[in-house]
Structure 1
Amino acid sequence: MAEVRMVLYEDDSVQVQYADGSKLHLSPCGSEFLFEKPPPVSTHPLQHPQRIRQRTQFVISTYREQVQRALDFRNSAATCPFLSESIIPSERKKRIFIDFSEVRWPSLDTDERMTCLENGTVKITSLDGHAYLCLPKSQHEFTVHFLCKVSQKPESTAVLSEKNHQPPKDKASKICVHGNLSGQRLENKENKLHYQVLQSRKGFEKISCVIGIEGSEKLSSPGPKSRCVYTWVKQRWPVGSCPGPWKYPLSLALRFHNRISIISKSTVDYLTSRILTSDASEVTGSEASVLPKALLLSCPAPHLHRWNFCDSLVQMQSNEDYSYPELIKMVWVKGITYRLTHGNINSIEVYPGDGSVFKSEGTYFGNYFTYYSSQEGSQEEDEKTYSVNNLPPDRPGSLFSVCSLIKEATRILEYCAKMRLSLSHNYRLCCWKVQPGIRDSNILPVLLKESLIPSVGRLLAYSDDKVHAVFLDGITLTLNWNFSSLSEKRQVNQGLNLGWCRLTFPDGQDQFIKIEHPGMYERYVTTVTSWCRRVTQTNSRQTPTHLPSVLKENWSVASELEKIQKFTLLLENSGILNPDFNKKEQCSDDCNPRSSETLEEINEKSVSAALNKTSKILQDIDCLLSTSKK
Structure 2
Amino acid sequence: MAALRYALLYSDESAEALYEDGVRLLLSPCGTEFVYETSEPRAHPLQTPHRSRHRTEFATSSCLDRVLQVLDFRNKFSGCPFIPLSILPPEKTVSHLSEISGVTWPRLEDNEFVGGLEGGGVKVSSLDGNANLYMSALKKEFLVEFLCQLSCKTPALNPESQSQDLLPHPLRYGERIPETGNKIPSSKGRSGSKYSSSVIQVMDDLRFAKHGFRYSWLVQRFSVSCCPAEFYYPMSVALRFLNRSSENEPRDGDTPTGSETTGEPENFREGAGSVLPKALPLTCRRTHLHRWNFCNPGMSSTFSMPLKVAVCGDVTYRFFFDGAGCVEIYPGDGSVFVSDGSCLGKYFKHQFLNEGTKLTEERTYMASDLPPDKPRAVYSVRALITQAVRFLEMSCKAKLSLNRLSDTCCWKPGVDTEHVGLPELLEQSFIPGKGRFAVYSDNVVLVNYLDGVTLHTVWNFAHFNKHEKGQVKGPINISPHLKNGFGWCQLNFPDGAAKVVQLESPGDYSSYIKAVIAWCVQIDDTARKRTVAPLGKENWSVEAELQKIQRFQFLVQNSTAVKCRDLSSVPVRSRRDENALREISCEMNIQSVLQKTSKAIQDIDLLLSSRK
When normalised by structure 1's length, the TM-score is 0.68
Contact conserved, 1:325 with 1:425, CA < 8 A, in 2?
A: no
Q: Counterpart in 1 of 2:63? A: 63
Partner-residue secondary structure (3-state), 2:343 = coil
**Structure 2 equivalent of residue 14 of structure 1:** 15
2:77 corresponds to: 77
Look up the match of 1:297: 282
Residue of structure 1 in register with 2:207 after alignment: 223
Deviates more, 1:16-25 or 1:320-329: 320-329
Alignment correspondent of 1:469 = 447
CA distance in structure 2 between the partners assigned to 1:332 and 1:81 by the alignment:
18
1:378: how far off?
2.4
- In the alignment, what sits opposite 2:228? 243
Q: Secondary structure at the match of 2:77?
A: coil
Answering whether residue 297 of structure 2 is matched by residue 309 of structure 1, we say: no
2-structure distance, mates of 1:241, 1:391: 28
Partner of 1:107: 107
Contact 1:104–1:287 (CA under 8 A) maintained in structure 2: yes
Q: Does 1:497 align with 2:475?
A: no
Is the 1:82–1:294 contact (alpha carbons within 8 Å) kept by the matching residues of 2? yes
Q: Give the conservation status (yes or no) of the 8 Å contact 1:80–1:293.
A: yes
More displaced 10-residue stretch of structure 1: 219-228 or 323-332: 219-228
The corresponding residue for 1:27 is 28
Report the CA distance between 1:73 and its aligned residue: 0.6
Alpha-carbon separation, structure 1, partners of 2:136 and 2:272: 22
- The TM-score, its normalising length taken from structure 2, stands at 0.70
Residue 597 of structure 1: aligned partner:
none
Question: In the alignment, which of 395, 410, 417 is matched to residue 396 of structure 2?
Answer: 417
Distance 1:149 1:199, change over 3 A: closer
Task: Provide the C-alpha distance between the structure 1 equivalents of 2:416 and 2:328, rounded to a whole number of angstroms.
Answer: 38
Distance, in Å, in 1 between the alignment partners of 2:25 and 2:216 is: 24
Q: CA deviation at 1:522?
A: 2.8
Gaps of 5+ in 2: 158-186, 192-202, 251-257, 471-480, 533-612
Secondary structure in 1 aligned to 2:232?
A: helix
Which residue of 443, 450, 471 maps to 2:428? 450
Is the contact made by 2:316 and 2:331 (CA closer than 8 Å) also made in structure 1? Answer: yes
How many Å separate the matches in 1 of 2:435 and 2:151? 54
2:396–2:500: 8 Å Cα contact kept in structure 1? no
Contact 1:344 1:482 in 2 (8 A): no
**Contact 1:483 1:539 survives alignment (8 Å):** no
Which SS does the other structure have where 2:31 is aligned? Answer: coil
| 1:496 Cα deviation after fit | 1.6
Distance 2:509 2:111 in 1: 60
Q: What is the aligned-residue identity percentage? A: 40
1:484/1:539 contact within 8 Å kept: no
Q: Distance in 2 between matches of 1:422 and 1:126?
A: 44
What's the counterpart of residue 586 of structure 1? Answer: none
- Give the letter for the 1:527 counterpart: A
The residue aligned with 1:589 is none
Deviation larger for 471-480 or 8-17:
471-480
Name the CA shift for 1:56/1:534 in 2 (closer, same or farther; >3 Å).
Answer: same
Provide Cα deviations, 1:346-401, integer angstroms capped at 9, x if missing partner. 42111111111111257431112111121334221232211212212222221111
Cα deviation per residue 1:529-583 (whole Å; 9 max; x = unaligned)? Answer: 1121122234456789xxxxxxxxxxxxxxxxxxxxxxxxxxxxxxxxxxxxxxx
- Residue 74 and residue 530 in structure 1: after superposition, are their counterparts in 2 closer, same or farther (change >3 A)? same
Q: Is the 8 A contact 1:74 1:81 kept in 2?
A: yes
Q: Distance in 1 between matches of 2:463 and 2:269?
A: 27
Aligned to 1:516: 504
> Partner residue of 2:316?
337
Residue 496 of structure 1 aligns with an amino acid whose one-letter code is N
2:463 pairs with 1:479: no
Q: Which runs of 5+ in 1 are unaligned?
A: 158-197, 203-218, 266-271, 545-630
Q: Please state how far the C-alpha of 1:220 moved relative to its aligned partner.
A: 6.0
Alpha carbons 2:108, 2:268 under 8 Å: kept: no
C-alpha distance 22-322 of structure 1, shift in aligned 2 (>3 A): farther
Name the CA distance, whole Å, in 2 between partners of 1:496 and 1:12. Answer: 27
CA distance in 2 between partners of 1:526 and 1:435 (Å)? 38
Q: Which deviates the most, 21-30 or 458-467? A: 458-467
Residue in 2 aligned with 1:398?
Answer: 377
C-alpha distance 436-366 of structure 1, shift in aligned 2 (>3 A): closer
| Bigger shift: residues 136-145 or 451-460 | 451-460
Verify the 8 A CA contact 1:356 1:374 in the aligned structure 2. Answer: yes
Aligned residues: 467
Render the CA deviation track for 1:135-177: whole Å, top value 9, x for unaligned.
11121211111111000012149xxxxxxxxxxxxxxxxxxxx
Counterpart of 1:497, as a letter, is: G
Seen in structure 2, the aligned counterparts of structure 1 residues 392 and 263 have a Cα distance that, compared at 3 Å, is farther
Q: 1:200 to 1:410 in 2, by over 3 A?
A: closer
Alignment of 1:7-406 (within 5 A): 7-41=8-42, 43-108=43-108, 110-156=110-156, 221=205, 223-226=207-210, 227-262=212-247, 287-310=272-295, 315-316=296-297, 319-321=298-300, 323-343=302-322, 346-360=325-339, 363-406=342-385
Which deviations, in whole Å up to 9, do the C-alpha atoms of 1:435-477 show, x marking residues without a partner?
Answer: 57643233x2222322233453321112222100123333322
Indicate the SS of the match to 1:376.
coil
Q: Deviations over 1:312-348 (max 9, x none)?
A: xxx45xx324523111111111111111111278421
RMSD value over aligned CA atoms? 3.3
| Equivalent residue runs for 1:525-544 within 5 Å | 525-540=513-528
Matched-pair contact (CA < 8 Å) for 1:83–1:151: yes
State the distance in 1 between where 2:378 and 2:432 align.
59
SS at structure 2 position matched to 1:134: strand
Structure 1 residue 26, shift from structure 2 partner: 0.8
SS of the equivalent of 1:240 reads coil
Q: How far 1:408 sits from its partner (Å)?
A: 0.4
Supply the distance in 2 between the matched residues of 1:284 and 1:116 (Cα, whole angstroms): 19
Contact 1:33 1:56 in 2 (8 A): yes
Matched-pair contact (CA < 8 Å) for 1:122–1:135: yes
2:198 equivalent in structure 1 = none
Instruction: Measure, in 2, the Cα distance between the counterparts of 1:52 and 1:282.
Output: 52
Q: Is the 8 A contact 1:151 1:294 kept in 2?
A: yes
Residues 84-93 or 476-485, more deviating: 476-485
In 2, Cα distance between equivalents of 1:90 and 1:121: 32
Higher helix share: 1
Q: CA deviation at 1:64?
A: 1.0
Measured in 2, the distance between the counterparts of 1:516 and 1:220 equals 69
Query: Contact between 1:474 and 1:506, CA under 8 Å: does it hold in 2?
Result: yes
